[in-house]
Structure 1
């Protein structure tokens, strides 16, 4: 045992720094290539893996700096100058990959903490260099890499600062406008009136605000370049949604007119590209690098590493071969990571718009899109189903064990969440439903009315007002669970007409998606959720009592629920004791079953309205949080509604530039 412990200690003392510095480099490489995937996937395991790499990258870099400092202080031998050369590379790693500066929006708010941490690491590297100054053969390349590492840390802190909500909001505020000089004008007016001179105040209209409408695209579809041009233009207008700012009526009407003339495919392409720009601003270095200062800092960083590599390659080396190989790996790794980051920057959406007249750049982008899957979000719709949840509910013993470990919700949700592709039929269905409402909403008042509907609009248009009570007389979260269970009962009670198949499938998909948002992602629907957790648990408990632990297939379980006699109102029997809606949903399903024609079309349109209501009543900040988790259909619908002019983010008052005092008739 003592021999084994001695061997382990010896191996640790010999290889700990080398092992962890290579681990740090490997994590940076992983993040550069894997981090962009998180905007294209909603897979929980992938997100967790990226989070682990993101957290471990900073930890490992900090840890190695500590190991090097301790080693240089304890044994300042001939290897001290090489260790001092390695230390600044950890600053390069702490500066982070261009592909990910923040894992979540909360990281941006901690930019001061990050800046303090980076400052201490820079000072530690300087201290290590100071300890190895005497006879240091690598002094010049060490200073160069230290400069490059410091620049990288500055880049990351600047990116975090620019993406913080306070700075993000301030960047969109216009110059302070005190308006006309009230006291001077009123005093002058009073003096003129005392002199018995006729006087009046006339408001002068402000300059016309011109909003680009892209009329040249009205007669045909949008090319890839046109999509990016439109997205970039609207990004600068609508990025204010994230911090809950408002827009002028002119901007609302110009964008609305443009989107009313678009096809579903073009409209969603523009929105997806626009959200991709938002993602890059909030979670990557795109915003901080794409400016004169950013280009200058990147040039200094990259050229410093190149010169350090050349200097190290030309000098005589008297170090261990493994240490020399590691040094080359660090130098070449830093160069490669920067080169790949520059290529990604050149082929990004920002560069395509900025360099749209360059044929070389456009050919590079076309080549990239030809060889790689160019998705801007996951293009999937998560699914969660109440009946499936009950039928696959874990046993009491397993529930107690995982609950004790605090993993019950995580494991149960992992087991019950599935995913379906976002189809063109569903995309077109949602688009045309919102387009119809946008055409009606010529004025802000009508837009606000449509913005607030959650199913009753469709029921009223189709003459089924007797179903209003299932929407207007209950809370949003209660109506959502009611309609979900009713949709599931009807879906499993028969195949339906062939003409209704598309509406039937889309209703089922939207129903399961909305339940997923309510149960698995309550932070998204928190403003509308109410007591959804209690209602969910009570409904599950009533299902357990009804089936008495019997495990059936999904179709048979739905048929058994529909067979229950619901002539007596379930709410009367339960009173206020239970919040379950199981058999009230059964009553709703039977009411819907009585509809002769277009049953599934009505149900599908109700679900689109519920989706729209949830999207428009969720804060922009919350929508921005979803961009780093594969994106959400809810976020696309939210932005589409705003582009259609459906919302409360628009100011109506006319802006006057100045007031003029006119004397005389």
Structure 2
């Protein structure tokens, strides 16, 4: 078949079936988004994220082109358009429904939520076009025309729901009112309404996670909040085991993911609670309509097994059916996977990272884009499932650090550990903490690797230190924005340049042995081809040597090392912008984000003094206490005072 013949065939196909193919493409895109949209919170594969990104963008393009073609459908007799024209008109409201996107993905990125107002104009124009198409294709004698109205209403609901979901995330009219301030007083009564039965434990956990999220609103930077309220028995998780505390954090972050990227919050509002009934009109039409109906039914079914459903059903405990279904649904929700539950791992002493060369064609392409080192790090990094012992280690060390932090912003990255163990006089330890953060991470990582090889054991502190060490280097190498570092690439490359000649001349065991000896001297570090102020005067190997020698003299070295790593992780988590935490939620999630949320509940970011009469006590916390507490902590404010959001 010649090229001209192929082109001619494609043209004929486009003229005859172009509209149907475009509608099929939009339905296919929406099916992909419905299936994968909510799964991206725990899927880390680049191919999956690329597929979601492509379908998210292409859906609106396909729908717009299809609507454009529908506006110029040929109608020989306007009074009697014909059965085929009426069927084509039926596709217009169907396309409007597709433009409402799947319930599991309203926004691909955080930035999309800023475009809510712009999308109102786009949807308004689209609705006008759809109305024009329906008017042109209307045939009063055809029963198919009777489907125009219900499908059009369904399309309006889906489209308005999408715009509403975008606009509600960072609504500039959001403000803190007196009602918001005193709302917490009723939370205790909600929990007391549950029967005293262990089968409702999962339900209470989901509900508690929701109230903790709703109180903190971590995606809003300037939302009024004080950790005093979370200290109440019915809101606190201080007594929870580490696994359960991390599960609560997972659920909170899942609520945050839903608010930022899905329609879940508005789907459970009063307006939308019966919207799915309209979809019943679609079940008797053709293949494309059947596909859309199946998709909507799938999404409606999934809503019943969401955290939001458990929260909303918990408000109606007087209904016998709710009391029967709630424990089952809550147990199912608690078993759901809400993030990848893994940590990235990268080892600076990996010889492949230091010496492995790409083949010439690949190296040429990577050099062209100056991405050779970045791609090498992506290629060599791995992921490891988070063991329960690591969660326990992190939570326990955070509790110890909290004794010195006292709800203040997290500003230290090792000093509190040195004070706790009384080892500040150790010069190697002190110097490794006082240097710049990226240097400190590298020095501690190399020292941890050396001690793990020489004196590693099977303790939780040792295994946890190794995991956190490789995780922090992974963040430094591939996610430096989460560490709030702008010079990470330069510092990391300099450290690799210092390690390459040292490791090239000896095997790893010999190199590690030399770095642990006090009488071993090292030559001046190898400078980069273009020395910078960032790396000037930094002697990597001698600094590592001093730190290793100090740590080897301590019997509790692994407790100290693990505490240092947890403190560094907390410091990085606190400094990281909310935007970056939110961005990682749609790419599998990060351990550092869970630590950030745990810290957020324990941080008084306004540095306000808690009045003595409001300190935690056994006295019941009344509605009046709640309102006066906010006034004493934050001062009397106009109930309509607005706060700039993120």
TM-score per shorter chain, which class? Answer: 0.7 to 0.9
* Superposition pairs of residues 251-270 of structure 1, within 5 angstroms: 251-254=229-232, 258-270=236-248
- CA 369–11 in structure 1, closer or farther in 2 if over 3 Å, else same: farther
Q: Which of 278, 293, 301 is the matching residue for 2:256? A: 278
- CA 49–577 in structure 1, closer or farther in 2 if over 3 Å, else same: closer
Could you tell me how far apart the structure 1 residues matched to 2:400 and 2:195 are?
21
- CA 136–455 in structure 1, closer or farther in 2 if over 3 Å, else same: farther
Give a deviation string over 1:362-418, Cα, whole Å, max 9, x none: 547737966996112211111122222224453676334223246546633431221
Could you tell me how far apart the structure 2 residues matched to 1:646 and 1:252 are?
11
2:338 corresponds to 1:376: yes
Could you tell me how far apart the structure 1 residues matched to 2:507 and 2:520 are?
23
* Residue matched to 2:347: 385
* Superposition pairs of residues 227-376 of structure 1, within 5 angstroms: 227-240=205-218, 242-248=220-226, 250-254=228-232, 258-295=236-273, 298-299=275-276, 302-303=277-278, 305-307=279-281, 309-310=283-284, 328-356=286-314, 357=317, 360=321, 363=325, 366=328, 374-376=336-338
Q: Which of 128, 146, 169 is the matching residue for 1:140? A: 146
- CA 398–249 in structure 1, closer or farther in 2 if over 3 Å, else same: closer
- CA 166–400 in structure 1, closer or farther in 2 if over 3 Å, else same: farther
2:603 corresponds to 1:601: no
* Residue matched to 2:19: 17
Could you tell me how far apart the structure 2 residues matched to 1:387 and 1:393 are?
16
- CA 387–32 in structure 1, closer or farther in 2 if over 3 Å, else same: same
Checking the alignment, whether the CA contact within 8 Å between 2:448 and 2:469 is kept in structure 1 is yes
Q: Report SS of the residue matched to 1:523.
A: helix
2:614 corresponds to 1:652: no
Checking the alignment, whether the CA contact within 8 Å between 1:249 and 1:650 is kept in structure 2 is no
* Superposition pairs of residues 612-627 of structure 1, within 5 angstroms: 612-627=570-585
Checking the alignment, whether the CA contact within 8 Å between 2:378 and 2:478 is kept in structure 1 is no
1:32 to partner: Cα distance: 1.3
- CA 244–89 in structure 1, closer or farther in 2 if over 3 Å, else same: same
* Residue matched to 1:180: none
Max Rg structure: 1
1:428 to partner: Cα distance: 0.5
1:636 to partner: Cα distance: 1.1
Give a deviation string over 1:414-462, Cα, whole Å, max 9, x none: 3122101111100011111112233x25xxx74327x222112222332
1:43 to partner: Cα distance: 2.8
Q: Which of 111, 123, 131 is the matching residue for 2:128? A: 123
2:365 corresponds to 1:401: yes
Could you tell me how far apart the structure 2 residues matched to 1:541 and 1:34 are?
42
2:436 corresponds to 1:475: yes
Q: Report SS of the residue matched to 1:243.
A: coil
Could you tell me how far apart the structure 1 residues matched to 2:365 and 2:132 are?
51
Give a deviation string over 1:122-153, Cα, whole Å, max 9, x none: 22222222333467733321233222212211
- CA 238–218 in structure 1, closer or farther in 2 if over 3 Å, else same: farther
Could you tell me how far apart the structure 2 residues matched to 1:658 and 1:81 are?
62
* Residue matched to 1:223: 201
* Residue matched to 2:168: 162
Q: Report SS of the residue matched to 1:96.
A: coil
Q: Which of 480, 504, 508 is the matching residue for 1:522? A: 480
Q: Report SS of the residue matched to 1:381.
A: strand
Larger deviation, residues 363-372 vs 383-392: 363-372
Q: Report SS of the residue matched to 1:419.
A: strand
* Residue matched to 1:26: 28
1:564 to partner: Cα distance: 11
- CA 598–472 in structure 1, closer or farther in 2 if over 3 Å, else same: closer
Could you tell me how far apart the structure 2 residues matched to 1:557 and 1:256 are?
54
1:53 to partner: Cα distance: 2.4
* Residue matched to 2:394: 430
* Residue matched to 2:617: none
Could you tell me how far apart the structure 1 residues matched to 2:38 and 2:196 are?
33
- CA 263–70 in structure 1, closer or farther in 2 if over 3 Å, else same: same
1:605 to partner: Cα distance: 1.2
- CA 256–591 in structure 1, closer or farther in 2 if over 3 Å, else same: farther
Give a deviation string over 1:212-231, Cα, whole Å, max 9, x none: 56799999998211211211
Checking the alignment, whether the CA contact within 8 Å between 1:433 and 1:605 is kept in structure 2 is yes
Give a deviation string over 1:597-638, Cα, whole Å, max 9, x none: 122221111101101111122233332222212221111111
Checking the alignment, whether the CA contact within 8 Å between 1:218 and 1:261 is kept in structure 2 is no
1:569 to partner: Cα distance: 8.9
Q: Report SS of the residue matched to 1:540.
A: helix
Could you tell me how far apart the structure 2 residues matched to 1:17 and 1:461 are?
70
* Residue matched to 1:453: 412
1:360 to partner: Cα distance: 4.4
* Residue matched to 1:318: none
Checking the alignment, whether the CA contact within 8 Å between 1:570 and 1:583 is kept in structure 2 is no
Give a deviation string over 1:193-241, Cα, whole Å, max 9, x none: xxxxxxxxxxxxx999748567999999982112112112212211156
Q: Report SS of the residue matched to 2:96.
A: helix
Could you tell me how far apart the structure 1 residues matched to 2:480 and 2:75 are?
52
Give a deviation string over 1:89-133, Cα, whole Å, max 9, x none: 111111011111011111100112322222222222222223334
Checking the alignment, whether the CA contact within 8 Å between 1:95 and 1:149 is kept in structure 2 is yes
Q: Report SS of the residue matched to 2:152.
A: helix
- CA 598–136 in structure 1, closer or farther in 2 if over 3 Å, else same: farther
Q: Which of 633, 636, 641 is the matching residue for 2:599? A: 641
* Residue matched to 1:663: none
1:260 to partner: Cα distance: 2.6
* Residue matched to 1:186: none
Q: Report SS of the residue matched to 1:307.
A: helix
